[in-house]
Structure 1
Amino acid sequence: MRLIILILTCIFSGNLFSQELAEWRGPNRSGIYSDQNLLKSWPEGGPQLLLELKEIGNGYSSPVFYKNTIFVTGRKDTLDVVSSYNLKGKKNWETVYGLAWARTYPETRCTPTIENNLIYLVSGMGEVACVDAVSGKLIWTVDANSNYKGEPHKWGISESVAVSDNVVFYVTGGEETSVVALSKTEGKLIWKTRSLGGTRAYASSVIIEKAGLKLLLAQTAKDLLAINIENGDIIWSFNLVQYHTGQSGIGANTNTPLYYNSEILIISGYDHPAIMLSLAADGRSVTLKWTNPDFDNHIGGAVKVGNYVFGSNWTNNTNGNWICVDWNSGKTMYETKWFNKGPIISADGMLYCQEEKSGHLALVKPNPEKFELVSSFKIEKGTGPHWSHPAIFDGKLFVRHGESLMVYNLKKSSE
């Protein structure tokens, strides 16, 4: 009887065979974090600083928080490393998992994907790796870029790998294949898609489900691909580069797709219009719903809150405005200047906007009529552009700037 009660308790508490996942931009890679009861305004100077980590390695990746432990990647010399820290700032371990990108912007960009105490990563040169989250032991590594004749775009590899069941997915680009699926246990090839041509893009993929069909939405420099994760069949593709009519950034697809209620939003910078696609009832085709030339989000991502999507757009590589667009119609609700473009996330009904040039970070109400600033402060630590996307875990705001990582308390004082 006691055993039955214990089993039922585990089931209803969600702890039996837990598939806890920590990854790029939070649940469903949507940029929406599930934390509640967070501060609705900040004191002057920002929320309480709980921890500052230094010398984590240069990078633009985001940290993740898994089982009360911080994990973050960084470039040290010519190598990409992943490190583990406790909440007092003590380093548990540091592990090399591959070679850093060797050309322009060599800083690490892969955010760890962690599930069942295993970390999945890809180096700047395309080595897919698995690391034990507890010990830091390198379990396996595969030179996927070389093995499958991958073709990186101009600024290298920025992917944070997606996982499902027993599979790790990696976008190669190139003429041999577009995407490969590797086993989580050994890194062995499970399937590879046919090639649609073109180099890889910079965006990370996302997994969606429609009519019982699980699809990996992956981007190359040319196309958005919907791939059956069971066998690697390309169910449909949509040509994106046809909309890249500007003078720069051709093929630079930069942001993870946003998916909601059978609709897929694709955004990138360089005067590329935002593209909304409607997914057919059986998941096997898409049609164009709308485009919006104002919403050419560069590398900061976007979030859907209510019936609106919020983010920033691209004027040039060093400037941009903040924007709100109606999800259903594609109508621009507002476009306004606030320092500069940059990354955005959301939690507990609020927007967290960070401009990339000088590091101002704002708490903003998701008002479709105006950019409604509530509080802001400036990130003073670290060096380089503020391209890393903030993250929120366990009531804490994680902000990475170059080789520094700051952790702030977002919980209300009553907690």
Structure 2
Amino acid sequence: MKKTCFILAIVLLLNIAYASEKMRTWTSMKGTKVPATLIKDEGSIVILKTRDGRTVRIKRSSLSKSDNAYLESRSKTLANNRSGATSDWPGWLGPDRNGKSRDTGLIKKWPEDGPTLLWKTTGLGEGFSGVAVANGHVYITGGVNGKLKIFSYDMKGKEAWSTNHGPMWSKSYPGSRATVQVSDGKLYLMSGEGTLSCYDASKGDEIWTRKMGEFGGRAQGWGYSESVLIVDDTLYVSPGGKTTMAALDKKTGRSKWESDSFKGAAEYSSAIYAVHDGVPMIINANESGLYALNPSNGSLFWSNDFCARNTANCPTPAYKDGLVLCSNGTGKRGKCLKLKALGKRG
């Protein structure tokens, strides 16, 4: 998949742009129909651009009831967008790694003509990573001329900085993979080649780097794809091979512990943090199956071989109310596990 054009259609922001409005047919009270694009709604006056490029000013009172209803609905939608969204989306699957935003008061459905396009950019190369939004910036990665690049944009679409994160994955399905994770002003990224680095999120300066080879790491044929997990001051990463998972100090990159309790090559899913029966755990999958580790020391809580030795374990596990869902799209479908009570464990 090539990121030849990055379109940010976030209808959460201030400074809504009219330039990207879609053309629609406007009807006067007398029944005259005019295909045109909305340039600006000034309240009593509507400015339209016709198909032949002419700009016309029309009194809103002269438009049909349906047009006025459209304008009113659009105005309310934009007002809700400006006031409703305040939280960040700092990495893969959002702030709680469950695909849910913490914002409230968001719109129930898109406007008639879809969300307003705020800006777009090109030249991001190729890859499969997602977008992170934090501290007033948008972060995304892409493979460009053999390099894995990290891009930072402000909310108006102006590039703030970009930096190289070593070579991009150039074998099967080349390009970027993991989504960056932003935490406390720092940005973290794993490359397909197994390079994990921490950067200053405001400038792109490198702070520390670890290689998965340091842990005796081993990935499957499509390289490392994990979006690292950060809980408080600890970063969790899955090197695979000799080291199931490692816990690193997010500020320095130094190891807190390295676990070999459930060996197997790293797959393509990303770990989640869950608390079951009062017990915190880190859940992920590798080539040997699904597993859960103690976040304080890396000991194994439980494992399940449902997805062992499969073509690829890609989806992120999901946890809710004592249930763990492991989904798989390569023949094994999915399995939902009901966890037993673990009791308090340190």
User: 1:268 matched to which residue of 2?
Assistant: 328
Contact 1:95 1:138 (C-alpha < 8 Å) held by counterparts: no
User: 1:213 matched to which residue of 2?
Assistant: 279
| 2:237 counterpart SS class | strand
**1:139 aligned onto 2:207:** yes
Which residue, out of 42, 45, 48, partners 2:116? Answer: 48
User: 1:202 matched to which residue of 2?
Assistant: 268
Which residue, out of 186, 196, 214, partners 2:252? Answer: 186
| 2:213 counterpart SS class | helix
The equivalences for 1:298-377 within 5 A come to none
User: 2:229 matched to which residue of 1?
Assistant: 162
Contact 1:201 1:251 (C-alpha < 8 Å) held by counterparts: no
User: 2:238 matched to which residue of 1?
Assistant: 171
Contact 2:141 2:179 (C-alpha < 8 Å) held by counterparts: yes
**1:234 aligned onto 2:294:** no
CA distance in 2, matches of 1:230, 1:198: 21
Paired residues, what number?
A: 258
- Go from structure 1 to structure 2 and tell me whether the alpha carbon gap of 1:109 and 1:34 turns closer, same or farther (over 3 Å shift): same
User: 1:91 matched to which residue of 2?
Assistant: 159
- CA deviations over 1:331-358 (Å, ceiling 9, x no partner): xxxxxxxxxxxxxxxxxxxxxxxxxxxx
CA distance in 2, matches of 1:87, 1:150: 37
C-alpha deviation, 1:153, in angstroms? 1.0
- Go from structure 1 to structure 2 and tell me whether the alpha carbon gap of 1:215 and 1:283 turns closer, same or farther (over 3 Å shift): farther
- Go from structure 1 to structure 2 and tell me whether the alpha carbon gap of 1:53 and 1:107 turns closer, same or farther (over 3 Å shift): same
C-alpha deviation, 1:283, in angstroms? 6.3
C-alpha deviation, 1:23, in angstroms? 1.6
- CA deviations over 1:9-39 (Å, ceiling 9, x no partner): xxxxxxxxxx977121113211122343225
| 1:269 counterpart SS class | coil
**1:57 aligned onto 2:125:** yes
| 1:146 counterpart SS class | helix
Contact 2:261 2:300 (C-alpha < 8 Å) held by counterparts: no
Which residue, out of 84, 92, 112, partners 2:180? Answer: 112
| 1:29 counterpart SS class | coil
User: 1:11 matched to which residue of 2?
Assistant: none
C-alpha deviation, 1:255, in angstroms? 0.5
1 or 2 for the larger relative contact order (CA 8 Å, sep ≥6)?
Answer: 1
- Structure 2 counterpart of 1:162, which letter? L
Contact 1:20 1:115 (C-alpha < 8 Å) held by counterparts: no
C-alpha deviation, 1:276, in angstroms? 0.3
- Structure 2 counterpart of 1:33, which letter? S
- Structure 2 counterpart of 1:166, which letter? D
The equivalences for 1:7-86 within 5 A come to 22-35=90-103, 36-44=105-113, 46-86=114-154
Q: Which structure has the bigger radius of gyration? A: 2
Contact 1:20 1:116 (C-alpha < 8 Å) held by counterparts: no
| 2:316 counterpart SS class | coil
- Go from structure 1 to structure 2 and tell me whether the alpha carbon gap of 1:234 and 1:284 turns closer, same or farther (over 3 Å shift): farther
| 2:118 counterpart SS class | strand
- Go from structure 1 to structure 2 and tell me whether the alpha carbon gap of 1:85 and 1:21 turns closer, same or farther (over 3 Å shift): closer
CA distance in 1, matches of 2:112, 2:89: 32
User: 1:150 matched to which residue of 2?
Assistant: 217
C-alpha deviation, 1:116, in angstroms? 0.7
- CA deviations over 1:59-91 (Å, ceiling 9, x no partner): 211111112211111112222221111122111
Contact 2:88 2:135 (C-alpha < 8 Å) held by counterparts: no
Contact 2:98 2:318 (C-alpha < 8 Å) held by counterparts: yes
- Go from structure 1 to structure 2 and tell me whether the alpha carbon gap of 1:114 and 1:283 turns closer, same or farther (over 3 Å shift): farther
User: 1:100 matched to which residue of 2?
Assistant: 168
Structure 1 residue runs without a partner (length 5+): 1-18, 245-249, 286-415
Identify the range of structure 1 (188-197 vs 199-208) with the bigger mean alpha-carbon deviation. 188-197
- Structure 1 counterpart of 2:323, which letter? E
C-alpha deviation, 1:148, in angstroms? 1.2
Percent pairwise identity? 31
- Structure 2 counterpart of 1:277, which letter? L
- Structure 2 counterpart of 1:224, which letter? L
| 1:89 counterpart SS class | coil
Contact 2:278 2:344 (C-alpha < 8 Å) held by counterparts: no
- Structure 2 counterpart of 1:52, which letter? K
TM value normalised by structure 2? 0.70
| 1:147 counterpart SS class | helix
Structure 2 residue runs without a partner (length 5+): 1-86
CA distance in 2, matches of 1:107, 1:39: 35
| 2:96 counterpart SS class | helix
CA RMSD of aligned residues (A): 2.1
TM value normalised by structure 1? 0.59
Contact 1:227 1:235 (C-alpha < 8 Å) held by counterparts: yes
| 1:33 counterpart SS class | coil
| 1:121 counterpart SS class | strand
